[in-house]
Structure formats: C-alpha cells, structure tokens
Structure 1
C-alpha cells in the first residue's frame, strides 16, 4: 500500500492527499519539450540570420535557397513572412525558449498548476494553426518549400500532439479524457508520422517537389 499523508487546508475541512508517487519527476516529457524546443529554436535562429543577411545583402541569394521550389528567400521576403509586422522567426525565438525553459524546470523539480498546462496546450494549438496557415501559404500561394520553415513545422506538430495527449492523460482536461489520452499518447508517434505524410503528399500534388530532388 502506498503511504499517504493528509494535510488540512486553511479555512475549510478539505484535505489534500500526498502520496509517494507525487514525488516522482517525469523525465520523458520534459526531455521531449527540451528537444522539440531546441529544434524549433535552431530553425528560428537560422531564419533570423537569413533575414538579417537578406536585408544587408539584398542582391545575394539566401543560403537556404536550393532551387525554385526549395528555398526560404521568397518566404522571408513575403508579407506572410512578417504577418505581425516583424519577421515571423522572432516569434519562434521567444516561444521556443519558453518551451525549453518549461522542460528544464520540470527536470529540476518544478510543478505547475492545471491552468498553466492548459495555457501551454492552447499556445501549442495556436502554434499548430499558424504552422498550417504558413504551410498553405507556402505551398498554394508562394509555391515554395522553405527548408528551415519545414524544420519549424516538424517541431510544432509533435509538440501539439504530445502536449495535448499528455494533458489528457494526466487529467488536465478532466478525468473523463484520461483513458482516451493514455491511449492516444501511446499512438503519438504514428499520429505525428501521419501528419508529416499528409503534408508531404499535399506538397507533392501541388508542387511535385520530388522531381526537383
């Protein structure tokens, strides 16, 4: 039997149950956040450098311009690349740093309230929606596949699925979603690969990018 210690709360007769399992620190989840954050931050940093280089040397092609289709120069120079009035990679520099910080703090033993995890989940959902919009603009409007943008997409997609399913499994979105969250989290790798495949197939049908390799 797991030892249990009851601590009365101030102002009422309710008690908070603390068991020995509560002291266990998750490892896989924060490590995933750190890795995903590092991948996303690397892409955001590279795109920021490319943007600065393009501003300083507008006559030169970006180092990530490999062909008419596989390039990032056109994306960085478009209005879609500065949706909020400044280069989109700056958003990534801020957001991915937060994701890394959360992962590191969890490894150090930090714990957060449910509202914090819901906020992270909502943020990841907005990030996924933004990535889907950028993907559609890149493929259907600009006719390009930006290499560093794709790295960002590759980090954002699993971030959303893992955060969502992890929250469901741990009751962040209510006890009714826990069983489903546990099941979906065990299938997250397949779901992420399926998401990548959908993107690749759409890009192939529209741009025929395989022929440019």
Structure 2
C-alpha cells in the first residue's frame, strides 16, 4: 500500500513528460512547416506579380515542360477563390509559425485553439490534395514551390492531429492511439511515398527520357 502514491506520482510524471515532449515536437513541426510554407508562398507571390507585370517573364522554377510554375500560377486552379492561392499561404503559414514559437516557448494553447488549428490544417490538406490531382491530371505540371507547400501542409496536419490524439483532444480507439504513438513518422513517410509514386508514374515517360 505504501508504494501506491509513489507509483501514481511516477505515472503522472511520465504522462506529463510525454505531453511536454509531444508539445515540443508539434511546436517544432509548426515552426518549420510555417517557415517553409511561407517562403514557398512568398516566392510564388513574387513570381506571380512579376508574371502579371510582364507576360514574357519566365520564373526560375520553369525548369522543363513538366517541372514548371508559370503555367500553374496563371491557371484557373491557381486562383480558386478569385485571387492567387499563395496569398492564403502567406497568412496561414505565418500564423502557424507564430503559434509554433509560442508552443516551443512554453505557452499552453487551449483545447479550442488546438482543434481549430487541426480543422484548418485538415481543410488545407483537402485543398492540397485537390491541387495535386489537378497538377498531375489536368495541368500536367509539377510546380516545385507548390510541392513545398504540399509537403509542409501534410506534415503540419499530421503532427497537429497526432498531438491532439495523444492529448485526448480527439477521440480514438486505443489501437489507433498505439499505432499513432509508435509509427507516426513511418505513416507520414508512407503518405509522402504514395504521392511521390503518383508523380513518378504520371510523368514516367519524361523522367525516363532524362537517363
């Protein structure tokens, strides 16, 4: 009986440590994806502005008939809401980076804010996958900076969701929680792998011609 309180205290300490580690990991991912996504969005914004001023301008990311940004930016898919998509990225990724700094410096975000962040990231992921499909099967182009936004958005959504699951902010069966805790990075790599495979197979005639 005398060991009960000590064991309980140890369990509480382990849980607290795990929660702190999860928050730090998530804060770091938020900061890095926020910076990477913002830089990619900023470069797209600059190139889009230059292209509007000079239709003959060739963005530095126009590398080949397949790897190109200019045609993607000037397409209808590049302005889904009536303005350049990258403007959404400038605001959203800046906010994510700021929140990441807050988490890393010890600030405790409320449940509502975490869930709002996860919902926003989910919306971003859905939009990103629609853009991936449009790029591969409608525009027949891969925009390098857009790909940077894809990678950042997916990582952000994944690790914010993992954090919400680990903290109990999102309900999930125990087997799912165990899988997420033990294999979160492998699942993310597999996600990226599927997208890379789609890109590889979609443009295989072009890739194979380079060798």
Counterpart residue number, 1:65: 62
Query: Quick check: 1:128 aligned with 2:125?
Result: yes
Q: Tell me: higher relative CO, structure 1 or 2? Use CA pairs within 8 A at least 6 residues apart.
A: 2
Partner of 2:3: none
**Distance change (3 Å), C-alpha of 1:24 and 1:140:** closer
Q: TM-score, normalised by structure 1?
A: 0.84
SS of residue paired to 2:141: coil
Over the aligned positions, Cα root-mean-square deviation in angstroms equals: 2.5
Q: How many residues align?
A: 199
Corresponding position of 1:37: 34
Contact 1:171 1:177 in 2 (8 A): no
Q: How does 1:87-166 map to 2 (within 5 A)?
A: 87-166=84-163
Can you give the 5+ residue segments of structure 2 that lack an aligned partner in the other structure? Answer: 1-5
Residue 211, structure 1, aligned to residue 199, structure 2? no
Higher helix proportion (structure 1 or 2): 2
Change (3 A) 1:62 1:165: same
Report the Cα distance in structure 2 between the residues aligned to 1:103 and 1:199, rounded to whole angstroms: 26
Q: Alpha carbons of 1:98 and 1:178: their partners in 2 closer, same or farther (altered >3 Å)?
A: farther
Query: Is residue 85 from structure 1 mapped to residue 82 from structure 2 by the alignment?
Result: yes
Q: What's 1:51 paired with?
A: 48
The residue number in structure 2 matching 1:74 is: 71
Cα contact 1:165–1:182 (8 A) shared by 2: no
Give 3-state SS (helix, strand or coil) of 1:69's partner.
Answer: coil
Q: C-alpha deviations, 1:101-147, integer Å up to 9, x for none?
A: 11111122221221211111111111100000000001100000001
Structure showing the higher strand proportion among its residues:
1
Pair 1:187 & 2:183 matched: yes
The answer on whether the counterparts of 1:72 and 1:148 sit within 8 Å (CA) in structure 2 is yes
Q: How far apart are 1:53 and its partner, in Å?
A: 1.2
- Are 1:27 and 2:24 an aligned pair? yes
Per mean C-alpha deviation after superposition, the further-off stretch among 182-191 and 119-128 is 182-191
The CA distance in 2 between the partners of 1:158 and 1:131, in whole Å, is: 12
Structure 1 unaligned runs (5+)?
4-19
TM-score, length-scaled by structure 2? 0.85
Change beyond 3 A, Cα 1:114–1:132: same
- State which drifts further: 136-145 or 26-35: 26-35
